[in-house]
Structure 1
């Protein structure tokens, strides 16, 4: 079982932060735009301070007991949970298994796979082509077509990095380079391995606490439309679309992101 470690930033209600699965070390999150909350940043199996892990131990639902073990170890009672991207799968499953421990759930540019949503190729193409006027677009067009055609080539997917940022500037490029360097090979397949549960509409309808789903306005995966559709599964959902933001909205406009999350957590 992987270890969990935490960093505390600022003051406020305890906030468990679930990174994007065992795909990246949690350092890619930075300080999340300076959210004014006491953050407990989880180092999931195979990443950060948790060290190596076998692929068989990376399926997302296997992390839920780790999250609960950390909560108990830290002496926390009821917590807010914030998850980014693929970390949504862990956070939602944790909230379903331990609903009495969750006060609020914030899902940031969430992966929707564990909610039963498959990528819509038509929507992905439309989102991508909406940025065809950007100077970097011609260089990645071939890789885009390959991915839309079903390519799983690491080189093709890496070439699509500009799509996940609102601005492909030096900050975004350095973030992408650092993220690529820390990715675990074959982690996505292990994370969503056979047997991983898909949350049902009936399960999600029983969530009796507020849920924030935050989309980036130019994020292709998930698109704002897909996030809005997924929000209908939650009885107490709020959708926020951050204008001009990609998959890492705290990098594109830290103030907007910080205020949106803080407002939700303050409720």
Structure 2
């Protein structure tokens, strides 16, 4: 397991999966160990994934200063990751809350990013967040599910601020396109993968400066792919479309039947979408 040292001395780990050109991957959660990403629906057939365990998660060490869990404070970790791999420019992929970190990195180091892939991504860094109304709209798509009646009240409480730990478990089916054995196993693994203290600090006050980030994004010459799940509420496909409009060179793909973890719900579609995007970007970058 390769490791490197962050600027503040914290030892960080990353995991290498697959063959091909490198693709740097940032997990979400926030602050969930990267194991939950798996092979991203078989993307390892096309790319060599370098998957970072964020500080205090997975095989990475706890930092001396818990304040460094804040999203913007981790941008230096991503830059150290790039330098450790010896790459001048990177193809960067992130999932969910990890997209905020990827966006902040790209804002601070725009010349270091060749492409950005956001999978069911948050964009608080750009001033776009998901509301309880968004969650309710997404939940309404699942009324025919056999688990809906038992899970809906818990899911509502999660987003109105009254939810409990028990509600988190009960509401899990809403995050998956299919609540089957694979989804249940994936959800169960999360209990041991989160750093709860880090998650609380991740999006703390001062983490984001949306106006500044939007100005950089509007002038970007970076190719951006946003992948949304048809059944996901965070982001809803229409919200992902609004985020895409903030970039000059963005494209959006909505995967039918997919929830928040599309490599489980639609692995072939996700793999082909991301691999195709990266191949097209490489061709244009090389001038072919």
Q: Contact conserved, 2:57 with 2:194, CA < 8 A, in 1?
A: no
What is the match of residue 198 of structure 1? Answer: 209
Q: TM-score, normalised by structure 1?
A: 0.94
Of 30, 51, 57, the match for 2:61: 51
Q: Contact conserved, 2:53 with 2:60, CA < 8 A, in 1?
A: yes
Of 6, 9, 25, the match for 2:14: 6
Q: Is residue 162 of structure 2 the alignment partner of residue 151 of structure 1?
A: yes
Runs of 4+ in 1 over 4 A off after TM superposition: none
Q: Contact conserved, 1:14 with 1:76, CA < 8 A, in 2?
A: no
CA distance in 2, matches of 1:246, 1:20: 15
Q: TM-score, normalised by structure 2?
A: 0.88
What is the match of residue 48 of structure 2? Answer: 38
Q: Is residue 282 of structure 2 the alignment partner of residue 264 of structure 1?
A: no
CA drift of 1:10 comes to 2.6
Q: Contact conserved, 1:10 with 1:38, CA < 8 A, in 2?
A: yes
RMSD across aligned positions (CA): 1.6
Consecutive unaligned residues of structure 1, counting only runs of 5 or more, are: none
CA distance in 1, matches of 2:173, 2:108: 36
Q: Is residue 242 of structure 2 the alignment partner of residue 233 of structure 1?
A: no
Superposition pairs of residues 1-267 of structure 1, within 5 angstroms: 1=8, 2-20=10-28, 23-35=31-43, 36-53=46-63, 54-200=65-211, 201-267=214-280
Identify if the C-alpha distance between structure 1 residues 56 and 180 changes in structure 2 by more than 3 Å, giving closer, same or farther.
same
CA drift of 1:52 comes to 2.5
CA drift of 1:13 comes to 2.1
Consecutive unaligned residues of structure 2, counting only runs of 5 or more, are: 1-7, 281-288
Q: Contact conserved, 1:22 with 1:46, CA < 8 A, in 2?
A: no
What is the match of residue 285 of structure 2? Answer: none
Give the paired residue count. 267
CA drift of 1:57 comes to 1.6
